[in-house]
Amino acid sequence: MMTPEDKAERARQRLLEKAKEYQLGTYSNKFVAPLFQRMVRAEYAADTRVFFPAVVDGRVQQVKRCMGECVCVTCGKVATWTGNSIGGGEIETGHFVASRRASILYEPTNSHPQCKVCNNHMSGNQGCYEMWMRAMYGQDEIDRLRRLKNASITFDRFQLVDMRIAFQARLKAAIERMTA
């Protein structure tokens, strides 16, 4: 009989074999990034806090929401976290420093729930996003993220597969917290 560790390693090996069928950027964009974005929304939705900070009427305020819902950090809209892996619902995962570069793409302090309007139609609603980031993380973190955008980082297949496994586990844990 296989131990849980043996099963996990076998599953990892299968993912590594599958990953070899793709170029690194394609694998990241097709499998890892959408999973990361879904996980970010699920973790916010699974948080037990009732009130979340968001920019409303030009200032950071506490917005009420229920379990399973996310608050858009840049306008305060409340909606369910679900949708397809890249969004598809009313809430998506916005990036403060917008970039598809590996150096910034998976940074947790750079990714937060945003409504479709703010994220897409308002190009991230950057003025409000910066106000929210400054209130939540401070100017030093904003500066660090902006510097990181220009860093050169390349993930290998092993790292991408391990991130995919970790993000999947975090997503599953967040969903379980919401349904408990």
Contacts of 124 (CB under 8 A, 6+ apart): 74, 94, 95, 96, 98, 114, 118
pLDDT at 1: 83
What does pTM read for this prediction?
0.93
Q: What is the pLDDT along the chain (180 residues), one digit of tens a residue?
A: 889 999 999 999 999 999 999 999 999 999 999 999 999 999 999 999 999 999 999 999 999 999 999 999 999 999 999 865 455 689 999 999 987 788 899 999 999 999 999 999 999 999 999 999 999 999 999 999 999 998 888 999 999 999 999 999 999 999 999 998
Count of Cβ atoms closer than 10 Å to residue 135 Cβ? 14
Q: Which 3 state secondary structure label does DSSP give 76?
A: coil
> Which residues face 52 on adjacent strands?
63
Pair of tokens at residue 106: 């998976």
The region, left, alpha or beta by phi > 0 then psi within -120 to 50, assigned to residue 104 is alpha
